């Protein structure tokens, strides 16, 4: 499905009772969670966190937003695109953490990330961490959401078409690389990733000409 066809499909889906009901239920639950006080949205820049941030900021313009910059492990042009999109929301309480180490070790990366998160949680006395993970994305995410933790996952049951419908319906900015990816994978499968992350080496993936591709397709 190309982008033009996707937009037409989303226009039709936006009028469906299933989507309207899902949106209303999500807003109601999210409003209840934010009312508990001191909420924070984790914004990766991907399509799901973009929807999550817009839903939350409609309820509370003063909400805390956290974005993690992976440093050299994220191409700078993509990171700039993400930050430009974040600026579009016009929110004041935006915190950007950045990976300082060039060490590829996951242990080092996770240590920096979670240390930053802990400091922010304490400084802003965060009671409600909002994360835009969806069960449909992967079995691992589905199990994490089902297991439960200190985070809140308001759009966990949204499907990929719900997400794109909300984005087009509200004219939200999203990384342009999604459109590039979709030419290969399709809009139903395309997702944001931490490029150059060591985990991709074990999956046989390479980043070439703005695309993350399987090595066996990179010889073209």
Average pLDDT over residues 208-215: 49
Neighbours of 165 (CB within 10 A): 26
What is residue 198's predicted lDDT score, i.e. its pLDDT?
53
What is residue 148's predicted lDDT score, i.e. its pLDDT?
76
For 138-178, what is each residue's pLDDT tens digit?
A: 777 788 888 877 899 999 999 999 999 999 999 999 999 89
What is residue 196's predicted lDDT score, i.e. its pLDDT?
47
Average pLDDT over residues 36-51: 94
pLDDT score of 187 more than 50: yes
Ranges of each domain in the chain:
3-175
For 91-115, what is each residue's pLDDT tens digit?
A: 999 999 999 888 877 788 889 999 9
In three-state form (DSSP H/G/I as H, E/B as E, the rest C), the secondary structure along the chain is CCHHHHHHHHHHHCCCHHHHHHHHHHHHHHHHHHCCCCEEEECCCCHHHHHHHHHHHHHCCCCEEEEEECHHHCCHHHHHHHHHHHHHCCCCCEEEEECCCCCCCHHHHHHHHHHHHHHHHHHCCCCEEECCCCHHHCHHHHHHHHHCCCCECCCCCCCHHHHHHHHHHCCCCCCCHHHHHHHHHCCCCCCCCCCCCCHHHHCCEEEECCEEEEHHHCCC
Whole-model pTM?
A: 0.86
Q: What is the spatial distance between Cα 45 and Cα 70, in angstroms, rounded to a whole number?
A: 12
What is residue 102's predicted lDDT score, i.e. its pLDDT?
84
Q: Sign of dihedral through CA atoms 189, 194, 196, 202?
A: negative
Structural class in CATH, domain 3-175:
alpha beta
What is residue 136's predicted lDDT score, i.e. its pLDDT?
85
């Amino acid at each position: 499905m190309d982008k033009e066809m996707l937009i037409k499909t989303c226009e039709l889906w936006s009028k469906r009772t299933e989507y309207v009901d899902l949106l209303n239920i999500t807003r109601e639950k999210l409003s209840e969670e934010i009312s508990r006080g001191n909420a924070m949205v984790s914004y990766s820049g991907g399509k799901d966190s973009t929807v999550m941030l817009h839903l939350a900021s409609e309820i509370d313009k003063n909400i805390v937003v956290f974005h993690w910059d992976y440093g050299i492990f994220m191409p700078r042009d993509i990171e700039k695109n993400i930050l430009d999109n974040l600026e579009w929301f016009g929110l004041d309480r935006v915190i950007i953490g950045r990976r300082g180490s060039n060490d590829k070790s996951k242990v080092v990366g996770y240590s920096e990330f979670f240390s930053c998160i802990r400091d922010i949680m304490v400084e802003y006395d965060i009671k409600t961490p909002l994360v835009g993970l969806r069960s449909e994305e992967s079995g691992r995410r589905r199990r994490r959401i089902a297991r439960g933790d200190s985070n809140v996952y308001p759009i966990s049951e949204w499907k990929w078409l719900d997400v794109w419908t909300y984005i087009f319906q509200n004219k939200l900015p999203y990384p342009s690389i999604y459109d590039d990816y979709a030419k290969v994978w399709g809009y139903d499968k395309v997702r944001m990733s931490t490029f150059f992350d060591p985990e991709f080496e074990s999956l046989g993936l390479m980043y070439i000409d703005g695309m993350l591709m399987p090595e066996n397709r990179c010889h073209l």
